[in-house]
Amino acid sequence: MAFSTLSLILLLPLVSGQVFHWGPCPEPSVQLGFDIHKYLGRWFEIEKIPASFERGKCIEANYSLRPDGTIKVLNSEFRRGKVRSIEGTAVVQDIRQPAKLGVSFSYFTPYTPYWVLYTDYVNLAVVYSCTDVLRLFHVDFAWILGRARALSVVTTNSAKMVFSNNNIDVSKMISTDQQGCDK
């Protein structure tokens, strides 16, 4: 255990400075009175952390309700000449915290957090995911989603304010290519 902790610490700078941060996850405030029904449907990825090495474009998600009450998550992107999609499941894990969803893309993997920090349902959603590792550091993901393929600079900046007001670093956020997607 001590050895693996040590080797993780030593490896840390190699993994990726933008995903790993020292200390536990921040505890951001989430959307009050979150209404999943208004949130369903199609969202386009406008910006995100982290940047992935193999970058797809035209990244979008479609959330819909299944008969069993879980939420079907269909993510798709255009990468290396093809539309690639992956289906997952989102659930509200505690009904007292409806904006804190968990998402899993396989029966065998645990639910990872999907917290809606802010949404107006019709334009913008600000989503955050963070997992503590050994209580020493955390790995996080952040997304700015739009109902359209593009958001105004004002709207994007207001989304970044939501993150930074919650001590989430957005300096490494990159925008997703949504050009030429509707051909």
Residues that bind ligand NAG (CB under 6 A): 42, 62, 64
Q: How far is the CB of 101 from ligand NAG (least distance, A)?
A: 17
The phi and psi torsions of 112 (rounded to 5 degrees) equal -100, 150
- Looking from the CA of 60 toward its CB, the CA atoms found within 13 Å total 18
Q: How far is the CB of 64 from ligand NAG (least distance, A)?
A: 4
Q: How far is the CB of 29 from ligand NAG (least distance, A)?
A: 29
Nearest residue (CB) to ligand NAG, 62 versus 104: 62
Nearest residue (CB) to ligand NAG, 73 versus 117: 73
Unique residue bearing structure tokens 């009175």: 33
CB 97 within 8 A of CB 31: no
The phi and psi torsions of 102 (rounded to 5 degrees) equal -120, 140
Report the distance separating Cα 98 and Cα 8, nearest Å.
Answer: 34
- DSSP designation for 96: T
Report the distance separating Cα 123 and Cα 131, nearest Å.
Answer: 27
Q: How far is the CB of 115 from ligand NAG (least distance, A)?
A: 22
Nearest residue (CB) to ligand NAG, 87 versus 132: 87
Nearest residue (CB) to ligand NAG, 35 versus 132: 35
CB 44 within 8 A of CB 149: yes
Q: How far is the CB of 151 from ligand NAG (least distance, A)?
A: 18
Report the distance separating Cα 150 and Cα 109, nearest Å.
Answer: 32
Nearest residue (CB) to ligand NAG, 74 versus 139: 74
